[in-house]
Structure 1
Amino acid sequence: MSSGIWQRGKEEEGVYGFLVEDIRKEVNRASKLKCTICKKTGASIGCVVPKCKRSYHLPCGLQKECIFQFTGNFASFCWKHRPVQVITSNKYRDTFQCTICLEYIEPIPTYNILLSPCCKNAWFHRDCLQVIQLCNFLCLIKSVC
């Protein structure tokens, strides 16, 4: 995973459309970048905000609660620039259950707790949503194969 590489080939070319030449260039580029979190080299992911110069490894970014968006162009937001869910109403005073795992959660949007923008009173753990997304993706692949 890297911020500095694009799929220039067809899906069956290279590695799922990532050309070998581009992968080599990106490995070389990343080898010169130092992670702002662990201070080691090889930080191939950078914050999408133009003036931000933070680079990090995927595990470091996850640990620091960076946001990674895998839609269209890969975008990553560092911990300072990540989007934050804003709830305008303070009507959420009771505890709610995560709609997926049914564990009780305090209805305060944080990095790990999200309110559905479309379903009334539907709260989720970020990890639960990501597991569901992965399962849906794998089911889609199985049905296509």
Structure 2
Amino acid sequence: GSCFQKCDHCRRLGATIPCRAAGCPRFYHLPCAAASACFQTLKTLRLLCPEHAAEAAHTEDARCSVCVGPGDLRDLVLCMGCGRHFHGRCLDAPLAPHERPGWRCPDCKLCQGCREPGLDSPLLVCEACERGYHSSCAEPARQDLPAGSWRCKNCQACSDCGQRLCGSSACERCQRRRASAEGTHGAPQPDPPAQRSVSPSCSKVTDAPVPPPPPEPAGCEEKAQPGGDPQEAPPGDGGGSGDKPSPVEVPPDELPTDKDPPGTQPPEEPPLLTVPPPLEEPLEEPPALIQPPEEPPSLVEPPLLIQPPEEPPPLVEPPPLMLPPTHPPLDELP
């Protein structure tokens, strides 16, 4: 029936240690008894709940090994190694209630790595769980004792997200987030000057080229379209006197011809280029199309060869051979 007893501390089933006070219905799990400030003794294996802990004041076990006094019996912590009691406040590092289950005094601490006491070298004691480790058994291993507080691998946790760690105060993800946050705080200062340096340069570039390009490309394109005319003109520009006599000598003849061909030749040439190819292709195709129909008529002629049935009509002419009926009349004649 004890398996169905509910622990008075965690309120879960499975409590097996009862309070030895008369008429007390409380039960506890062994770790919960230490965490709830119950008085425990290994000599008599008795447990008294916090309400009845005062009943143990007259016992020899109810003495602190440091102050050698009973003091507050609810503050006494039992060493699971030697069975001595210690006040939590009398220890170098005061123990919180959740740190009391399975606690061992400094003399009884065992290395959690090799399970040997720290006789030759002092143990590293975790500030969270009070477990001890040799410096060589700790993970990661250390050459010397830390100057400040230290946590074992089971108690190391990221200060940001609470994830368990090994050897650092923050996990890699949180370290990256911190680095990115620090980078973003420092980045805005260089960013604005970079944007400012870019914006004015872009504005200057756009302002300067905008007015000149329209006239220059427009004029260049118009002169580039006439093609050979502008190219011939620049050499004439080098000799200005040569340009004037040339238009004076043949202006009436060449000017009308120059203006007419650019207007007439370009329209005439594209139609000529487009018209001949389509005209030549249809001319070549029709003969090819006419030839196949000529062959079928040749195939149709065989029916004309079948005219032999027409010859039988002359063979059918034997009716004139029916003269035998004519002979009877000859018989009749004799």
Q: What TM-score comes out, normalization by structure 1 length?
A: 0.43
- Structure with the bigger RCO (C-alpha within 8 Å, sep 6+) is 1
TM-score normalised per structure 2: 0.20
Name whichever structure is richer in strand by fraction.
Answer: 1
Higher helix share: 2
